[in-house]
Structure 1
Amino acid sequence: MTLIKRNYPVRNFERVNPFAPMFNDLFETMFNGTSLSEGNFKVPAVNVLENAEEFSIELAAPGLSKDDFKIDLEKNTLTISVQKEEEHKEETKNYHRKEFSYSSFKRSFNLPETVDVEKIGAEYKDGVLSVGIPKKAEAQLKAKQIKVS
């Protein structure tokens, strides 16, 4: 299983100075806690595990609900995405305040031909999305002892 590399748009000032992205992201991360290249939402960390029977993807995304996730499979590419919109309204006697918050991320994975796509399942529990990707029966590694003659 391979992770598809994310491509970020090139900003105009980066064409002039090739070191600009490194320093801008560094300083913005130090002062804001976020990175320019990731927008207003951190891209969650992902663990990819493999054993004899299946691949597993664990994605740490606390604060979301299972309905926020969208998992698509197209031509052996598994895509996990979230797009969340929040609106906060507050009205008092002297002022009105309305705040909008939009956050999203997308992670894609190339799946090998040995995966049984019909049996892929997902579960969201305690802030972690777990996706189980079983292998086809013929692709599973089975222990075998070879007799020496």
Structure 2
Amino acid sequence: MSNLVTVPKNGSLTNTTSNVNFPLWSNWIDDLFNRDLPSVFTSNFNTGITLPKVNIKETADAFMVEMAVPGLKKSDFHIDLDNQVLSISTETKEDKEEKNSNYTRREFGYASFKRSFTLPETVDDDKINANYTDGILSILLPKKEEAKQKPARNIKIS
């Protein structure tokens, strides 16, 4: 609550002329539902990581998809193309057990995500390639020859 209540010199909290210092009940409810949810509610409960962000750039010859996913290996990714839908997914599991003379501690973790994109018909799906370097997954989606932008040319009048 951001408003402070001022106490009159007689010590009473009652103000008979105005209720300006006390927010209305409806304002409290509005504030509760309009504020951002804590990150624990917006992250993936199973992994503690959020869905990776994607940059998509179009050039005259291709589309480039870049996804920041540090800490993984190339073998962790599954990239599939099915009926013009490109899916990028990963699933990692970690199982660790420590034994000491007095206790056993076992920890395990699971992380996964999947992002899917419908590709335009202009993509030449036989020439798609992917690269994973320094935590960035890059996927090159070349355009078909007939879809590439051709340079401007001068047409002579006969």
In 2, Cα distance between equivalents of 1:105 and 1:146: 50
Q: How large is the Cα RMSD of the aligned pairs?
A: 2.2
Which of 33, 50, 53 aligns to 1:42? It is 50
- Structure 1 unaligned spans of 5+: 1-18
Mapped contact 2:86–2:117 kept (Cα < 8 A): yes
How far off is 1:148 after superposition? 8.1
> In the alignment, is residue 76 of structure 1 matched against residue 70 of structure 2?
no
> Which structure has the larger Rg?
2
**Deviation per CA, 1:84-113, whole angstroms, max 9, x where unpaired?**
111111111111011110010010011011
Q: For the structure 1 residues 107 and 142, does the alpha-carbon distance in structure 2 shift closer, same or farther, using more than 3 Å as the test?
A: same
Structure 1 segments of 4+ aligned residues over 3 angstroms from their partners = 19-23, 34-37, 146-149
In 1, Cα distance between equivalents of 2:72 and 2:132: 9
Q: TM-score, structure 2 length as denominator?
A: 0.72
> In the alignment, is residue 141 of structure 1 matched against residue 141 of structure 2?
no
Structure with the bigger RCO (C-alpha within 8 Å, sep 6+) is 1
Matches within 5 A, 1:114-133: 114-133=122-141
Which of the two has greater helix per residue?
1
Give the structure 2 partner of residue 65 of structure 1: 73
